[in-house]
């Protein structure tokens, strides 16, 4: 089995640099706060080291040594997000990945079909993908975990030969310090005059084990390319997480949206690497001084557009702002696979599912998710009851069986509903409604010469009234609430009238049998 | 010697199935240019139907039948297997008359967007830009919006690029020269009076006020001073 090892030196610093990509070109260092002591530099980039910055310096000392040094404070959120993103580098190429500190391992045997040029092409592709996620990674491919680890530590890009003697020859010139982090062990080998793996490989393994213990024996075996470390890969987690802890509390939505933009971009980049899209968002906001604001942001369809996600989150925040300033943002994205659809030769090509999904998400952000869908009947006897069901994204989006369109001479009117029905005043005589009175916007007299400003009329005469038509239903339910959701269950009894009003329109109105009030249902059109 | 493509299909059932869906070249050209309205008289008035890849307008006051005309256009597009959308200002769609609800054999194909007047143009822009929709209807209901010309220009470009027929339904004409076809509807209600009054439907007069690149077909009255018109009768369900 061939194993790829991806090694990201100074992962904590690189994880912090992911949220400030512009700082990658300048000297940067990572500070860690330990107890009540001053923050100390623990990790630094090459430019900072060249400028004289060293681990253990305080922030002031480091700034004095390198004035344009960018300092980052280590946070748990950055560390978690960085580690998860490193795993995603592996999940972009293999279904299971083993993580070990700053390294990940995954099997690369099956990638031969995608990269017929060989292991070097695979390693280059892995390195390029890591760079897209914001990591400067070292990649090595070998037949064992230990060999891959040592090769990744020694080279930017390495392919260890598959044969044992070839691997042994590859490892021979490497210093012993690459094989173990135990300084005492390295010093012991140095005392013996064995500074390279090739020299260690000449020693009898049993004698090394007798004098240096299991750790020394492992180094000896590895220097002979005989390592037997077990590969223990794991499946990816169900959700993908990105987080950031803010340096100061944020009170307004716009600055928060700026932070969220980076989180969404990074999350979608990771999902795209695994050929996935985002099917739902959970946002966990840490509030000052304490508390959490957890909110779910539903998506109409999986999307890969950061703009759409951001718009939905922004709308949700505007609708229900956090109760306190935000000091940390944790974003959890639900991955989903975007299904490909097969077009039908006999049907018109409908909208592309990916674009349609993004469009539905944008429409949902614009008008609300409950207002986008396909009309669906409600289990109710009420004439106005209707709901919007989820719009199918793939096979049912167009008709199941296309037919030649045929014009018809049988034309049906439809009722243009007011939802919910609007309460109006009705003057009744012995034949039924005689006059209507509503709000300023209820009735209008159309004037073609003043199209932009129709004349509002409050009252109208009824020229002809047809009715009443008595309807009732759902008497087994509780009492109705006509002002609120008309699809809500509840008993109702109504007397309907079709009235031809003096503005020329034919309205449908009803009188509630319980309250005696009149409601305008709409007009025929 | 030319060979018919269908002769190469050995299975007669498959050949019959394919031939049922084939259209002639003449019909194809007609289909490419116009999209049926679903109402025979309107097809005649407009020279085959609503123009493809363009904006069209239906105007008329309350109870003039414009909702029924929009519904007929959507219904015939759905029956042809096209994806359709309705941007419905105020959410006034009639559940019993909605195309996707009334015909269970057709299946859900209508994308229904309920919105406020201020959101309507943005919603229709999004739908048309998504591509793949054959017919998109923008029902402005009675909304009185000050819509800038630039919005119609942008929508017309999108419709042309995506090959989408966009129907705009409003109380008064709004598109002007941006519409490739426009009809104005005026209706009078009809009541049965041989007993207690009963609303039976609307007698509608549809006048063609604009139709770009159209030569009047035979049988349709034309007059330079009076726009050609047809009469339609819409019947009430109740």
Q: Which residue has the tokens 């830009």?
A: B129
Question: A427: which strand partners?
Answer: A435
Spatial CA neighbour of A453 closest among A461, A441, A465, A469: A441
Torsion-angle region of A216 (φ positive above 0: left; ψ -120 to 50: alpha; else: beta)? alpha
> Per the CB < 8 Å rule, is B92 touching A522?
yes
Pseudo-torsion of CA A258, A264, A266, A267, nearest 10°? Answer: 160
Q: Is A455 helix (H, G, I), strand (E, B) or coil?
A: strand
CA distance B232 to chain A (A): 8
Do A408 and B39 form a contact (C-beta atoms < 8 A)?
Answer: yes
Q: How confident is the model at residue A125 (pLDDT cuts 50, 70, 90)?
A: very high
> Per the CB < 8 Å rule, is B36 touching A522?
no
- Indicate the pTM of the whole model: 0.65
Contacts of B144 in chain A (CB under 8 A): 452-454
Q: How confident is the model at residue A106 (pLDDT cuts 50, 70, 90)?
A: very high
Angle between helices A119-132 and A253-273 (to 10 degrees): 170
Q: What is the pLDDT of residues B60-104, one digit of tens each?
A: 988 899 999 998 898 888 888 888 999 999 888 887 766 655 555
* Nearest chain A residue (CA) to B21: A346
Contacts of A444 in chain B (CB under 8 A): 62, 142
> Per the CB < 8 Å rule, is B197 touching A465?
yes
Question: B176: which strand partners?
Answer: none
Query: How far apart (Å, rounded) are the C-alpha atoms in residues A94 and A324?
Result: 42
Q: Which residue has the tokens 């070249």?
A: B25
Spatial CA neighbour of B109 closest among B118, B101, B100, B117: B100
What is the reported pLDDT for B168? 94
DSSP result, A226-260: ---PPP--BPPPSSEEEEEEEEEEE-SHHHHHHHH
Q: Which of A359, A376, A409 sits opposite B127 (nearest CB)?
A: A359
Give the ipTM.
0.82
What is the reported pLDDT for A294? 92
Q: In a mutagenesis test of the B interface, which of A413, A422, A467 is the best target, namely the one with the most B β-carbons within 10 Å?
A: A413
Q: Which of A347, A389, A411 sits opposite B235 (nearest CB)?
A: A411
Residue B101 CB neighbours (<10 A): 20
pLDDT per residue rounded down to tens, chain B (238 residues): 555 666 777 788 888 777 776 666 555 555 558 888 888 888 888 888 899 889 999 999 888 999 999 988 988 888 888 889 999 998 888 877 666 555 555 445 789 999 988 899 999 999 999 888 889 999 988 877 788 889 999 999 999 888 899 999 998 888 888 999 999 998 888 888 788 888 888 899 999 988 876 555 555 555 455 568 888 888 886 5
CA distance B1 to chain A (A): 27
Mean confidence (pLDDT) of chain B: 81
Spatial CA neighbour of A352 closest among A405, A310, A301: A301
Q: What is the pLDDT of residues A384-431, one digit of tens each?
A: 788 888 887 655 444 444 445 555 556 788 888 888 888 888 999 888
Q: Which of B42, B109, B146 sits opposite A397 (nearest CB)?
A: B109
Token code pair at residue A253: 């939505």
Query: How far apart (Å, rounded) are the C-alpha atoms in residues A244 and A240?
Result: 14
What is the reported pLDDT for A398? 47
Query: How far apart (Å, rounded) are the C-alpha atoms in residues A357 and A392?
Result: 10
* Nearest chain A residue (CA) to B132: A351
Q: What is the pLDDT of residues A57-66, one digit of tens each?
A: 998 999 999 9
A176-207 as b/e, with b when 16 or more CB fall inside 10 Å?
bbbbbeeeebbebbeeeebebbbebbebebee
A380-393 as b/e, with b when 16 or more CB fall inside 10 Å?
bebbbbbbbeebbb
Q: What is the pLDDT of residues A427-468, one digit of tens each?
A: 998 888 999 888 766 666 655 555 555 566 678 888 999 878
Over its C-alpha atoms, chain B yields an Rg (Å, rounded) of: 19
Residue A138: pLDDT above 90? Answer: yes
Q: Which of B107, B188, B236 sits opposite A413 (nearest CB)?
A: B236
């Amino acid at each position: 089995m061939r194993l790829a090892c991806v090694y990201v030196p100074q992962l904590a610093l690189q994880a912090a640099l992911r949220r400030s990509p512009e700082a990658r070109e300048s000297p940067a260092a990572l500070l860690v706060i330990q107890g009540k002591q001053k923050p100390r530099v623990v990790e630094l980039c090459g430019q900072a080291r060249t400028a004289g910055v060293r681990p253990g310096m305080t922030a002031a000392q480091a700034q004095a040594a390198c004035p344009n040094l960018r300092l980052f404070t280590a946070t748990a959120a950055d560390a978690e997000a960085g580690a998860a993103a490193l795993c995603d580098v592996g999940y972009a190429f293999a279904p299971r990945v083993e993580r070990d500190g700053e390294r990940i391992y995954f099997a690369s045997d099956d990638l031969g079909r995608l990269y017929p040029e060989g292991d070097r092409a695979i390693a280059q592709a892995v390195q390029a993908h890591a760079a897209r996620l914001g990591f400067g990674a070292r990649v090595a491919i070998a037949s064992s975990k230990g060999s891959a680890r040592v090769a990744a530590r020694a080279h930017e890009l390495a392919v260890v030969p598959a044969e044992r003697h070839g691997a042994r020859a590859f490892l021979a010139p490497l210093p012993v310090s690459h094989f173990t982090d135990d300084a005492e062990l390295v010093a012991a080998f140095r005392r013996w005059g064995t500074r390279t793996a090739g020299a260690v490989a000449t020693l009898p393994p049993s004698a090394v084990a007798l004098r240096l213990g299991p750790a020394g024996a492992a180094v000896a075996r590895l220097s002979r390319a005989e390592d037997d470390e077990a590969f223990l890969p794991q499946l990816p987690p169900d959700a993908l997480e990105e987080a950031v802890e803010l340096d100061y509390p944020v009170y307004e939505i716009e600055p928060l949206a700026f932070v969220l933009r980076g989180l969404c971009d990074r999350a979608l980049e990771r999902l795209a690497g695994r050929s996935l899209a985002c099917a739902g968002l959970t946002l966990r906001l840490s509030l000052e001084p304490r508390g959490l604001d957890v909110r779910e942001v539903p998506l109409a369809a999986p999307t890969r557009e950061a703009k759409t996600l951001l718009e939905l989150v922004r709308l949700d925040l505007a609708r229900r702002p956090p109760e306190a300033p935000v000091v940390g943002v944790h974003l959890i994205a639900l991955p989903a696979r975007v299904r490909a659809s097969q077009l039908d030769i006999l049907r018109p090509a409908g909208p592309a599912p990916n674009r349609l999904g993004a469009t539905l998400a944008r429409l949902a952000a614009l008008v609300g998710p409950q207002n986008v869908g396909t009309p669906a009947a409600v289990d109710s006897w009420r004439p106005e009851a209707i709901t919007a069901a989820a719009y199918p994204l793939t096979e049912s989006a167009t008709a199941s069986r296309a037919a030649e369109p045929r014009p018809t001479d049988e034309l049906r009117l439809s009722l243009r509903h007011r939802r919910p029905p609007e309460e109006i005043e009705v003057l009744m005589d012995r034949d039924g409604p005689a006059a209507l009175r509503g709000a300023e916007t209820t009735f209008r007299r159309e004037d073609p010469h003043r199209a932009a400003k129709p004349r509002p009329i409050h009252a109208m005469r009824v020229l002809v009234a047809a009715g009443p038509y008595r309807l009732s239903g759902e008497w087994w339910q509780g009492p109705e609430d006509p002002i609120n959701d008309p699809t809500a269950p509840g008993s109702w009894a109504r007397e309907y009238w079709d009235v031809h009003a003096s503005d020329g329109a034919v309205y449908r109105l009803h009188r509630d049998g319980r309250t005696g009030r009149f409601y305008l249902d709409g007009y025929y059109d | 010697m030319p060979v018919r493509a269908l002769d190469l299909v050995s299975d007669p059932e498959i050949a019959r199935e394919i031939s049922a869906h084939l259209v002639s070249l003449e019909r194809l050209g007609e289909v490419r240019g116009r999209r049926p309205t679903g109402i025979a008289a309107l097809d005649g008035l407009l020279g085959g139907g609503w123009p493809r890849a363009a904006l069209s307008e239906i105007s008329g006051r309350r109870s003039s039948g414009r909702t029924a005309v929009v519904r007929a256009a959507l219904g015939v597009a759905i029956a042809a297997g096209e994806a359709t959308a309705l941007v419905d200002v105020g959410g006034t769609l009639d559940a019993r008359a909605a195309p996707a609800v009334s015909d269970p054999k057709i299946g859900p194909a209508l994308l229904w967007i309920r919105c406020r007047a201020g959101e309507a143009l943005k919603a229709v822009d999004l739908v048309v830009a998504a591509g793949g929709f054959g017919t998109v209807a923008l029902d402005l209901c009675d909304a009185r919006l000050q819509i800038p010309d630039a919005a119609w220009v942008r929508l017309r470009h999108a419709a042309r690029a995506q090959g989408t027929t966009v129907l705009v339904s409003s109380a008064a004409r709004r598109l002007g020269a941006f519409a490739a076809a426009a009809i104005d509807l005026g209706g009078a209600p009809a009541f049965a009076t041989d007993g207690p009054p009963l609303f039976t439907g609307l007698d509608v007069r549809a006048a063609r006020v604009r139709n770009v690149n159209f030569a009047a077909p035979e049988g349709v009255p034309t007059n330079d001073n009076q726009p050609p018109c047809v009469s339609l009768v819409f019947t009430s369900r109740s």
